[in-house]
């Protein structure tokens, strides 16, 4: 087994009503001025903004609004947040939203503590923040698991790069599954597919032999598939929504990654696609995964065969290993269609072939992928995704 260190700094409060139950008391540990960060306005429509500002008021806090964090948050938005923090002497950041809001705040929290430009510091200087303004996260859209790690995916529009930047860990995360009830079903589906993708990207990494982390991963994948089907059929099913929300956190809280070198090649391709098209993350992944897997599966045929059997329940009888592996990838592609995700870039409205070369050429190549790709192969994969 590979050596590992496991420690987790994020305290999670899970369940219906957890914000009303715990937020006021949690805020007591921090200073007076709170940056209340959120997205394009969904929390104002669904009442969450009112609930949270009432708690902040009752806790005697001065609130500084940081609104309009867009899906696929930009580096310019990070700098806007950091300026607000400095100008208003903010003591604490409360991120209320999905992955985009939480990610943006992780980097605002770190940028606010250093005079250096954090992008340059990390990508040129290879230095990573070790101090940040304290923050908490209230999750309103699950899938990314962003609340449980300190990686943030930020789009640098000037450089045309969407990449992982390291920032703050939230001190606490509040996960109320009822907060997801107002999410458009399209986003529920895209988020849950992101969870499935995080599991797959870890499962198909290294080592080759099956580990405890892989077996837990299989359970999270089966759970996500089952509960997404349930939520699509019965959107009010709180038990299924709760499972999806916790599965999302499990995908990115490091447990599945213990002892693994993760793959995440599909994510690297999708992130650069996002840099060029601003596409929805889960949808981009859906268009890429089956094509990528058909390209690489022969390098890990045993693992893909196991995926078919353990995750999709495909009977191995009468199939050789390769046929079983391909049947698993077919099942994944069928599931993508079944849940209404786009099965191609064209379905997502991305038809401009000319950008695909730039996406491929600027995409990171990962060490954990069972087949180490080159940029030309990524270009070929992207063309097949059209």
Neighbours of 211 (CB within 10 A): 16
CA distance 341 to 186: 8
Residue nearest Zn ion, CB atom distance = 194
Interface with Zn ion, residue 194, by CB under 5 A:
yes
Yes or no: say if 15 and 238 are a contact pair by the CB < 8 Å rule. Answer: no
Instruction: Report the residue from 18, 64, 71, 257 that binds ligand NZQ according to the rule CB under 6 A.
Output: 71
Instruction: Report the residue from 9, 41, 47, 207 that binds ligand NZQ according to the rule CB under 6 A.
Output: 41
* SS3 category, 164: strand
Instruction: Report the residue from 72, 111, 227, 366 that binds ligand NZQ according to the rule CB under 6 A.
Output: 72
* Backbone dihedral angles phi then psi of residue 18, each to the nearest 5 degrees: -65, -30
Interface with ligand NZQ, residue 140, by CB under 6 A:
yes
Residues in contact with Zn ion, counted by CB under 5 A, come to a total of 1
Mark 355-384 with x for binding to ligand NZQ (rule: CB under 6 A) and - for no binding.
------------------------------
Burial profile 199-210: b = 16 or more Cβ within 10 angstroms, e = fewer = bbbbbbbbeeee
* Omega before 207 within 30 of 0, i.e. cis: yes
Interface with Zn ion, residue 263, by CB under 5 A:
no
- Candidates 7-15, 75-83, 151-159, 358-366: pick the segment binding ligand NZQ (CB under 6 A): 151-159
Yes or no: say if 44 and 75 are a contact pair by the CB < 8 Å rule. Answer: no
Rg for the chain (alpha carbons), in Å? 21
Interface with Zn ion, residue 147, by CB under 5 A:
no
Interface with Zn ion, residue 201, by CB under 5 A:
no
Interface with ligand NZQ, residue 97, by CB under 6 A:
yes
DSSP character string of 80-146: HHHHHHHHHT--EEEEEESHHHHHHHHHHHHHTT-SS-HHHHHHTT---------EEEEESS-SS-G
Interface with ligand NZQ, residue 40, by CB under 6 A:
yes
- Candidates 94-102, 116-124, 286-294, 371-379: pick the segment binding ligand NZQ (CB under 6 A): 94-102
- Candidates 109-117, 135-143, 230-238, 288-296: pick the segment binding ligand NZQ (CB under 6 A): 135-143
Residues in contact with ligand NZQ, counted by CB under 6 A, come to a total of 34
Which residue ranges make up the site for ligand NZQ (CB under 6 A)? 39-43, 46, 71-72, 97-101, 103, 140-141, 143-146, 149, 151-153, 179-180, 182-183, 187, 191, 194, 252, 267, 281
């Amino acid at each position: 087994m590979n050596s590992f260190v496991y420690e987790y700094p994020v305290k999670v409060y899970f369940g219906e009503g957890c914000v009303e139950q715990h937020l006021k008391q949690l805020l007591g540990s921090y200073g007076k001025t709170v940056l209340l960060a959120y997205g394009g306005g969904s929390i104002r429509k669904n009442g969450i903004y009112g609930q949270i500002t009432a708690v902040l008021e009752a806790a005697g806090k001065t609130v500084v609004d940081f609104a309009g964090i867009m899906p696929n948050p930009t580096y310019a938005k990070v700098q806007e947040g950091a300026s607000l923090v400095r100008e208003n002497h903010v003591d604490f950041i409360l991120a209320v939203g999905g992955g985009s809001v939480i990610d943006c705040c992780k980097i605002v929290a770190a940028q606010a503590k250093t005079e250096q430009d954090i992008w340059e510091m990390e990508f040129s200087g290879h230095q990573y923040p070790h101090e940040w303004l304290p923050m908490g996260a209230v999750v309103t859209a699950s899938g990314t698991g962003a609340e449980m790690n300190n990686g943030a995916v930020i789009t640098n529009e000037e450089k045309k790069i969407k990449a992982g930047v390291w920032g703050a860990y939230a001190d606490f995360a509040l996960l109320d599954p009822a907060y997801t009830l107002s999410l458009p079903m399209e986003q529920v589906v895209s988020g849950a597919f992101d969870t499935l993708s995080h599991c797959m990207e870890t499962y198909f990494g290294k080592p080759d032999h099956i580990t405890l982390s892989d077996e837990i991963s299989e359970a999270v994948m089966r759970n996500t598939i089952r509960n997404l089907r349930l939520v699509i059929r019965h959107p009010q099913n709180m038990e299924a929504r709760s499972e999806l929300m916790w599965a999302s956190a499990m995908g990115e809280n490091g447990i599945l990654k213990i002892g693994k070198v993760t793959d995440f090649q599909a994510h690297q391709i999708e992130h650069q696609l996002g840099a060029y098209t601003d596409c929805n993350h889960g949808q981009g992944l859906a268009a890429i995964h089956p094509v990528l897997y058909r390209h690489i599966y022969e390098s890990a045929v045993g693992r893909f065969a196991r995926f078919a059997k353990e995750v999709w329940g495909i009977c191995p009888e009468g199939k050789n290993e390769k046929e079983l592996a391909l049947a698993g990838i077919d099942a994944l592609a069928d599931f993508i269609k079944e849940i209404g995700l786009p099965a191609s870039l064209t379905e997502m409205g991305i038809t401009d072939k000319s950008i695909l070369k730039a996406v491929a050429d600027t995409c990171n190549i990962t060490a954990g992928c069972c087949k180490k790709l080159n940029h030309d192969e990524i270009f070929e994969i992207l063309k097949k995704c059209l």
